[in-house]
Chain A
Amino acid sequence: ILNVEQSPQSLHVQEGDSTNFTCSFPSSNFYALHWYRWETAKSPEALFVMTLNGDEKKKGRISATLNTKEGYSYLYIKGSQPEDSATYLCAFWIYNQGGKLIFGQGTELSVKP
């Protein structure tokens, strides 16, 4: 059974803090990794699509890195703002299984003003 784990499960920070969280996945089955942001009462929205070892992606104050050899990806938020409060999901695409993917359970971020 393939397992995708995200840590921490939840995080409470003050406005202006920088933060990061982890997505761990089985390195031997890697095909691609996506990051999504999910605000309460809305639908998940794509942040990054990552496919190559060493990939680094950035969108504003949010960035992500990928290490496929050791099986992890980091998501960083610089200078957190209250509007960054959301659940951040990683989605692991399984090699050689077409469109099959596994989501992590998510990291719930709360940013206090």
Chain B
Amino acid sequence: EAQVTQNPRYLITVTGKKLTVTCSQNMNHEYMSWYRQDPGLGLRQIYYSMNVEVTDKGDVPEGYKVSRKEKRNFPLILESPSPNQTSLYFCASSLSGGLGTVNSPLHFGNGTRLTVT
């Protein structure tokens, strides 16, 4: 089944303890991206990747890192999480990178609810 898989679905952690949220897609998609969803603020883009080894900042990249060493995986890394990073996170992918990116719909993972105490 074609899908975007995020893990874990739920995570409770403490301030300062490094964590990684994994994202994997099995559709050979070139474009992958991360979003956070907060009440009243909608979905905000954190980072995106147009292809392997190509990543760039979205609107709210502070406090996050990403890597794209292989096409299928795009992990989100919080080196030192803080309470203001408590949020619902979504990973998404689409078929085309480059100029075709905007013509391809995004496929979303199931979300990761992160709580930082």
A49 CA / B105 CA spacing, docked (Å): 6
> Is A103 within 8 A of B43, CB to CB?
yes
> Is A100 within 8 A of B111, CB to CB?
no
Given contacts A43-B111, A99-B31, contact A32 B102 (CB under 8 A): yes
Given contacts A100-B56, A102-B45, contact A46 B40 (CB under 8 A): no
Q: How far is the CB of A81 from chain B (nearest CB, A)?
A: 23
> Is B45 within 8 A of A100, CB to CB?
yes
Given contacts A89-B43, A105-B41, A106-B42, contact A51 B102 (CB under 8 A): yes
A70 CB–B CB distance under 8 Å: no
When distances are taken between beta carbons in the complex, the residues of chain B under 8 Å from A98 are 48, 50, 56, 101
Indicate which residue in B50, B59, B102, B109 contacts A102 across the interface (CB closer than 8 Å). Answer: B59
Provide the main secondary structure of the chain A interface: strand
> Is A103 within 8 A of B42, CB to CB?
yes
Tally of contacts, chain A with chain B, CB under 8 A: 63
Q: How far is the CB of B62 from chain A (nearest CB, A)?
A: 16
A93 CA / B50 CA spacing, docked (Å): 14
B72-117 at interface with A (beta carbon < 8 Å): 90, 92, 97, 101-111
Mark interface residues in A25-56 (1 if CB within 8 Å of B CB, else 0).
Answer: 00000011010100000011110010100000
Binding site for A on B (CB under 8 A): 31, 33, 35, 40-45, 48-50, 56, 58-59, 90, 92, 97, 101-111
Given contacts A46-B107, A91-B43, 8 further A-B contacts (CB under 8 A): A32-B102, A43-B111, A89-B42, A93-B102, A99-B50, A103-B44, A104-B42, A106-B42
